[in-house]
Amino acid sequence: MTDLNDPKDPLDHLPVTIEEEMRSSYLAYAMSVIVSRALPDVRDGLKPVHRRILYAMRESGFTADKPYRKSARAVGDVMGKYHPHGDSSIYDAMVRMAQPWSMRVPLIDGQGNFGSVDGDSPAAMRYTEARLAKSASFLLDDIDRGTVDFQPNYDESEDEPRVLPAAFPNLLVNGASGIAVGMATNIPTHNPGEIIDATLAMIADPEITLDELMKIVPGPDFPTGGIIMGRRGIRLAFETGRGSIPVRARAEIEDIRKDRKAIVVTEIPYQVNKATLQEKIADLVRAKEIEGISDIRDESDRSGMRIVIELKRDATPDVVLNQLYRFTQLQTSFAVNCLALDDGRPRTMGLRDVLEAFIRFREEVILRRARFDLNKARDRGHLLVGLVLAVANIDEVIALIRAAPDAAAAREALMTRQWNAADVVPLLALIHDEGNVVEDGKVRLTEAQARGILELRLQRLTGLEREKIQAELDEVAAKINDLLEIIGSHVRRMEVMREELTAVRAALTSPRMTEISDALGDQSDESLVEPGQMVVTITRDGFIKRTPLDIFRAQNRGGRGRTAAGRRGDDVVVRSFNAHTHQWVLFFSSGGKAYREKVWRLPEASPTAKGRALVNLLPELGADSITAVLPLPQDETLWEPLHLVFATASGNVRRNRLSDFRNIRASGLIAMKLDEGDRLIGVATCREGQDVFLATRKARCVRFQITDDTLRVFAGRDSSGVRGIRLQPGDEVNSLCVLNHVDATVEERAAYLKAANAKRRALQQDEETEEPEEELAEDSEAVATVGDLAPERFEEMERQEEILLTVTDAGFGRRSSAYDYRVSGRGGLGIANMTLANPRRGKEVVATLPVLEGEDIMMVTDVGRLVRTPVGQIRVMARQASGVTLCRVGDEERVAAVFPVMESEGEEGDDDVAAPDDPTPADSAGE
């Protein structure tokens, strides 16, 4: 017993703190987990448990050419001899190596229930049967030929290999996953034919680049198929060993019935549980996070996977599919972390690193095998030399043996006798044998040769058998020379490796299962959005929202409308427009900065909701307010020939290329330099030769043509522009629009207006009296010739005619022909836009905008009411007319904004009553 009080006790001289003990113990544990459990070896791509399973099954004879054996036998052998852990961990590892949806090249051939892609557990090991797959032989071949090192097992009763002499890069072919202490690995599977081809290419050219390798191995190849989206993640993973690879299920949209479509999924991403996937989809449908799905069922069978997701009649299949990609595991990202043991140390490796490590290891295997085979061949050649010597001196050999009292004496007599070396010296040189010592032309037999002679059967003394001995000796000599060449030449070893890899490729090659799509790339959130028309509303205090257009129904002129945006204190709606969900929208602030957003990114809300503050949507907006918005064409190819024309409240204008605003950062872009106290009121797209139309609150307007002389293109964005209209005191510009320029003289415009107004009055009267169409045509042709304007010219001007709508704050308005607004010079006082003599009809002009026959307009009041009215119900009048009632407003209510609706929608509901035309004397007088 150790005496703790003995000063000479060595324990007193080795004090250890608890921190040091825990540190050393933890490091030992961590290294044990890293090296002996969790991480694969780069050489054979196997963890210890997988390596032990394959080796134990080979040693037990459970090979591909033998019958199946109970899995419990294999598990018991592994656990009892090599792997002192629970049987469940061993069985789970063996099951995975037998699952074709887990391994690109299964290494175990299983019979029975080995689980399913739905996550079903395999049957107990006492029920299932297994044996090695044919592919496993390429990992185990030559293991008994000195190719790898062995080590004692856990109780030193058996020897087990440290690594298997793998004949192909199994780490890349079958991948690996594992969690160690402080590190983890996750390596995807690859196509065996592509990986072997890449190995052959690296053997042929050790300096091959990664780009050249990626032409051979474009990316991972998962056993469950799927589609890899883009190559950026693949490139990063192959280069650094780390990367994220997005994988998407393979799905098609099919017609299942006359009016029903379904999304059919035939391949899912790697390591996705099919049953869990379907449960997740069902949960999202129940939670109404994904709408448009009516049913989901699994029609998978032996022929393949088939998940049918039936859609509702009104669902958009592409949108539903993109939502499934976004919110479920129909699209996942495989996080590549290619961490493996290289020379016993964890190392993160790219594609080239793994292939280089495998080639080095395989060359070592070939070298060690050649040395092993050389020793065997030399031993056999050495024995054959003795037999040749005995046959050449058969009489003397027989006499020595007959004279010997026993076998030991006979062996000793053969070994001590000196034989003539003339017959064997050439043979010794042929097989490079140094076992026999030749002195003075004599040679002595070795013990092995003497034993071989004593065991020689008499039939080998015939002439034919003597020839066979010589032929075998020649064959051994050729083999020895070949092995010596392999041992001494790196080039020769590479040739052997190339031949063996070619044979493995012929046995393992299979078509690629996973598609790599450059077209998909990274998925945009835009693909998740249902396409459609939206009404975008902006308030004076900076709240914005979008509402589906079909919520609002068309009303007759004079209707009361429906409640839209509610008020927040004295907040009022100041700007509204309609646009497609996938359109870009430019926002221009009062400070002259530009911002850009897609319509679908704007917050969606009901007509009565407040919306969301623009300062939250555009964080860099600051104290500025949005004073102009511009929806851009959805097709970006149409942007190139377009320009932007800016207008400020003080009457300044400027023209820039639209391409100057193609790239706008999140913090915004300076769009226009503004004078002190000025603000931006409008921005519109335009082309060379069109006309700019500016209108003011005090009913003044100006129209001038866009040319380099009148309004040049500004190269920069820091200019305040030039004067567009000269304003009277207290007036400001509130409308900007771009009109098509028509070359017409003053006389032609006057004649056209007179004829067109007469035609409109005649048509209106004819509609009221319901005259036949033939008579209407005759009346129209008659009025078209008024004012000596030829019918052809009248029709031409009629086709090019644009109609402008002017609305006052009291809800009055009228349409006028653009021919009524003459083209003048830029910077003048302009002409009258409307007569504002009667305050009841309005004190100010709210907006002047071009409209089309057949479309609707939306009027927004400062209390949040929206009124939608067909343009066709608004009369066309002279430019200075005060108009008719478009909508009724309260005493304290005013129209705040007017904008066109690009398409008519059907009637919706009956909660709003359409009012008839207002035949008041004021309307008649105004006309």
Catalytic site positions: 127
Distance of CA 737 to the CA centre of its chain: 42
Helix (H) or strand (E) holding 438: strand 438-439
Q: Among all chains, which residue has been given the structure tokens 């002389």?
A: 709
Pairing of strands 543-548, 533-539: antiparallel
Strand, coil or helix: 293: strand
Name the DSSP letter for residue 76. Answer: H
Pairing of strands 643-648, 680-686: antiparallel
Distance of CA 921 to the CA centre of its chain: 67
Distance CA(750)–CA(756), nearest Å, equals 10
- Please choose, from the candidates 334, 45, 349, 341, the residue with its C-alpha nearest in 3D space to the C-alpha of residue 188: 334
Distance CA(389)–CA(445), nearest Å, equals 9
Give residue 348's identity as a one-letter amino acid code: T
Distance CA(432)–CA(379), nearest Å, equals 11
194 and 512 Cβ atoms separated by less than 8 Å: yes
Q: Rg for the chain (alpha carbons), in Å?
A: 46
885 and 920 Cβ atoms separated by less than 8 Å: yes
Across-strand partners of 335? 244
Q: Which segments of 770-802 does DSSP mark as H helices, in order?
A: 773-783, 791-800
Give residue 419's identity as a one-letter amino acid code: W
CA distances from 752 to 132, 317, 852 (A): 94, 51, 19
Helix (H) or strand (E) holding 806: strand 803-808
Distance CA(585)–CA(829), nearest Å, equals 32
Distance CA(187)–CA(191), nearest Å, equals 13
Across-strand partners of 874? none
- Please choose, from the candidates 831, 808, 770, the residue with its C-alpha nearest in 3D space to the C-alpha of residue 922: 808
594 and 671 Cβ atoms separated by less than 8 Å: yes
Distance CA(884)–CA(892), nearest Å, equals 20
- What is the 3 state secondary structure string of 556-578? CCCCCCEECCCCCCCCCEEEEEE
For every residue of 36-73, DSSP letters joined together read: IIIS-BTTT---HHHHHHHHHHHHTT--TTS--EEHHH
Distance CA(182)–CA(65), nearest Å, equals 42
- Please choose, from the candidates 767, 721, 727, the residue with its C-alpha nearest in 3D space to the C-alpha of residue 875: 767
Q: Among all chains, which residue has been given the structure tokens 């907040």?
A: 571
Across-strand partners of 856? 870, 901
- Please choose, from the candidates 383, 364, 378, 365, the residue with its C-alpha nearest in 3D space to the C-alpha of residue 482: 378
Across-strand partners of 866? 562, 860
Name the DSSP letter for residue 346. Answer: E
The beta-carbon contacts of 66-74 under 8 Å, at least 24 apart in sequence, are 66/131, 67/131, 68/109, 68/111, 68/129, 68/130, 68/131, 69/129, 69/130, 69/131, 70/125, 70/126, 70/128, 70/129, 71/110, 71/112, 71/125, 71/126, 71/128, 71/129, 71/130, 72/125, 72/126, 74/130
Distance of CA 347 to the CA centre of its chain: 28
CA triple 667-669-671, angle to 5 deg: 150
Distance CA(45)–CA(354), nearest Å, equals 10
Name the DSSP letter for residue 35. Answer: I
Locate 804 and state its tokens. 């402008």
